Structure 1
């Protein structure tokens, strides 16, 4: 319309800008801090959507080149070499000795030839490389450079003219998380986006769907993704996924970085910190769980709350205000006095509408603790609205039980139709434990608060020959467990015992985690799907039956 518009982005956010590029409606900037950023213009303001760190040794990025076949080439300097890095393969395409940066240079590439010219000691140098047939044949492209430690299903997306595809997020020891499409028909995993903000391994993931997120667009979804792991680091992203028949994966995914949190940075901001014991910078987050039922009229602002199991022996509750892009430590407790391996948050609602946010935590000694975290959450919101610091006091657990003889590596909670809660856990010693909980409101001043009663307990020693690293309560009578022994076993819950119904052998070594979901087929048949991760990724499906069946091999 002829109107001149401008937007400003603070230059202090990067070390030094080296280039700015517009591609696909987005703005990309590079700098000498080793990252490139994707931005968009919104309400006359530049908004950072995501930052990428392409290669661990590429600390000086100069330019970005978008190729005709959809690859993104990152051009920069590493030590005294000029480097061209491919985002598609995750490898260096070229590494040319030139003496390093601070020199005039130019690079041009085509399918037939690659040319790099630079000035060194007053001389013009030319590097010329013709395209050669690639002798390396990739039989199966890798999703990660190291083992996969965690996996979460985002949901399913319908694409016109294509079969319904499932979206997943995986985390790995290679410090990245990957958003991918796993198609049941093609049996192929296609990466959509790679998240590289972590400085250490990604050990756990959690996904939050607010009301209405499942209906993002006509055939897509929106999800809030939390990732955490080493160096006490939590990252949060907003994922917007929709069908795109023109792309190779049939799905387009937009990643928006929301917020970050590091415990060491949180400690540095504390007042009188010289009087406190400094937190361990090597603390790892072992497990995350989104607290359900907090998106209500009781909260005047759109908060999300997150529970974390920590290797320093603490259970921590974090609050996220997405609009302000801010994490806040709400409460913490060192009740376990040892590494906490798993947390699982759940919601209990009475017929009168009264509701409580509850939390289950499990540690390396085999103990499982149950907490009422409703009060700390409401107090945190009230104090935050008054812009006062939050007092991180979680209090004492309601109940603590000894479920196993050693570490609890898997945990799942499911509500029964009667309003009770089934808690299933698996341990390093190969055992499985289940307990039935009843939640009640205390009456009178002496018994005010939430009361938990354990109605039933059942355990199965030596259920597996190795660590039980995945467990799910499919139905009140059916339990699914997975172990490092590469067996996926279906159990029937009977009075006082767990009876094995079937065993399936899967192909993923060193199983780290599983995720399950159910799908109602066109004929009304209920099918269960599982995705397993470890040294690889595998998806299996089947129907649950109460009749025993012989062991069988899982479909790939």
Structure 2
């Protein structure tokens, strides 16, 4: 009869291969998109998620919250120039949000999201059509040259509080690029690349799981990781910040000549931890510490001035509280850990994990009771670094709000007898430099046993030579980052065998410096 008929839909042969219940809460999923092998879902919970299909199972990699107030996300549009547009509704406005600029590029009054609508964009024009009160409304805008030009795109909306270097990635046919991670008061964490040749910082991924300022970053190599190989980088990223929140991610970075940054980055959210809502709503909670996730209950009210140790179960995607200390009576500002190993016979070795915490009242404690206490500064301590010497000892360097720096040499030993059983710490040497800087010392690194680097809010980066009984300044460099929050350092051997030290500083901006030293470095340390 000339009627066109489509083929019937095949009958269902079984249950779904994979189901994720409640992915976007009670309000449901609004769209599903596939782009470059990944699955993206949006919902009316104000979040869009990135997923992948692994062994015929859906696996959530990470979630993104575009901007505050956008509680209804409808669709995602991937543009030809690499931008991701998030389409949704905020109150009675239709909003188009750009992930590249982290800003709204359109905000059109339409009455809200409970209506039929359509949006289309092209290099020539943009069109938004919607139904309101039974009428079809049309919004049309032709493309016009932008009067404002961005000279330098910002990495964060507020101060950068912490920075860590992940490593270097080899890009075929191009120069090696360095991969960094930064945390900010704008509650986001940014994975970026920084090339010496281009001198440009290009973001690879933005992580927005924190609800408060990001204050600390750390990397760890998980089981099966190859480390820093030719094919790329693989590591666990831990970020910590306000509201006692910890987030853990798996980062996979590799060279990709097709990408704008020449590096491809895959991020998978692994685990998180935050104080429960019951404790947040509790009255006088500043007098008590949260005990909901601790194995036993306290016998008295303990001050919330402590640090915790967590274990990561990556397969189960959980952070488990292992231990915590309530020894301190003042705020803990910095914590560093190191692993010391003793030879316990021909076939047996004993390992001890030791912690060094810096407080407003400087102390070097262990987890439960202090092994040793060193009064090093007159006021708050804001920077700390530990380095193992070739002799198996440990250099502990610290910087204070009073502008001073302090270095002590520690030796770890096993106590003998019942009275001294366990681990013992002994201070072999101490050296300090009062008024090393004119303001707070917020960054310090031991580059070599005889070489120390310190940075301060006075915008000076000073190199020190550690001599018997004193610290001798070698050189001072002024940097451009105001309100320095932290620094990170690493060394690299150039093609000609020349050893160079690199330093990245963060605060109200980001800056990378490098220096060359003609003296030969000390013997390589034994791996820990």
* TM-score between the two structures when normalised by the length of structure 1: 0.85
Residue of structure 1 equivalent to 2:365: 370
- Alignment equivalent of 2:475, drawn from 497, 502, 511: 502
Q: Following superposition of structure 1 onto structure 2, how do residues 116-127 of structure 1 map, counting pairs within 5 Å?
A: 116-127=128-139
Residue of structure 2 equivalent to 1:328: 320
Query: Which is further off, 114-123 or 429-438?
Result: 114-123
- Alignment equivalent of 1:316, drawn from 308, 323, 335: 308
Please tell me whether residue 355 in structure 1 is matched to residue 351 in structure 2: yes
Contact 1:37–1:48, Cα closer than 8 Å, also in 2:
yes
Cα separation, partners in 2 of 1:468 and 1:215, compared to 1, 3 Å:
closer
Structure 2 gap ranges (5+): 1-9, 292-302, 521-528
Residue of structure 2 equivalent to 1:341: 333
Please tell me whether residue 485 in structure 1 is matched to residue 430 in structure 2: no
Please tell me whether residue 408 in structure 1 is matched to residue 399 in structure 2: no
Residue of structure 1 equivalent to 2:297: none
- Alignment equivalent of 1:263, drawn from 253, 272, 275: 275
How far did 1:121 drift?
A: 1.3
* TM-score between the two structures when normalised by the length of structure 2: 0.89
Please tell me whether residue 7 in structure 1 is matched to residue 18 in structure 2: yes
How far did 1:316 drift?
A: 1.1
Cα separation, partners in 2 of 1:464 and 1:142, compared to 1, 3 Å:
same
Please tell me whether residue 542 in structure 1 is matched to residue 518 in structure 2: no
- Alignment equivalent of 1:182, drawn from 186, 194, 197: 194
Contact 1:36–1:52, Cα closer than 8 Å, also in 2:
yes
Contact 1:312–1:338, Cα closer than 8 Å, also in 2:
no
RMSD (CA atoms): 2.4
Residue of structure 1 equivalent to 2:421: 448
Contact 2:384–2:444, Cα closer than 8 Å, also in 1:
yes
Counterpart-to-counterpart distance in 2, 1:501 and 1:544: 11
Residues 528-549 of structure 1: CA deviation (Å, up to 9, x unaligned): 00000011111000024679xx
Contact 2:24–2:44, Cα closer than 8 Å, also in 1:
no
Residue of structure 2 equivalent to 1:252: 264
Contact 1:340–1:364, Cα closer than 8 Å, also in 2:
yes
How far did 1:312 drift?
A: 3.8
Residue of structure 2 equivalent to 1:198: 210
Please tell me whether residue 42 in structure 1 is matched to residue 54 in structure 2: yes
Q: Following superposition of structure 1 onto structure 2, how do residues 388-407 of structure 1 map, counting pairs within 5 Å?
A: 394-407=367-380
Residue of structure 1 equivalent to 2:103: 91
User: SS of 2:243's equivalent?
Assistant: helix
Contact 1:71–1:88, Cα closer than 8 Å, also in 2:
yes
Residue of structure 2 equivalent to 1:243: 255
User: SS of 2:276's equivalent?
Assistant: helix
How far did 1:280 drift?
A: 7.6
- Alignment equivalent of 1:523, drawn from 489, 496, 499: 496
How far did 1:188 drift?
A: 0.6
Residue of structure 2 equivalent to 1:77: 89
Contact 1:501–1:546, Cα closer than 8 Å, also in 2:
no
Counterpart-to-counterpart distance in 1, 2:229 and 2:130: 48
Residue of structure 2 equivalent to 1:385: none
**If you compute each CA radius of gyration, which structure gives the higher value, 1 or 2?**
2
Q: Following superposition of structure 1 onto structure 2, how do residues 148-159 of structure 1 map, counting pairs within 5 Å?
A: 148-159=160-171
How far did 1:252 drift?
A: 0.1
Counterpart-to-counterpart distance in 1, 2:25 and 2:37: 22
The number of equivalent residue pairs is 492
Residue of structure 2 equivalent to 1:430: 403
Counterpart-to-counterpart distance in 2, 1:73 and 1:120: 24
User: SS of 1:489's equivalent?
Assistant: strand
Structure 1 gap ranges (5+): 282-310, 372-393, 548-556
How far did 1:449 drift?
A: 0.6
Cα separation, partners in 2 of 1:267 and 1:216, compared to 1, 3 Å:
farther
Cα separation, partners in 2 of 1:507 and 1:277, compared to 1, 3 Å:
closer
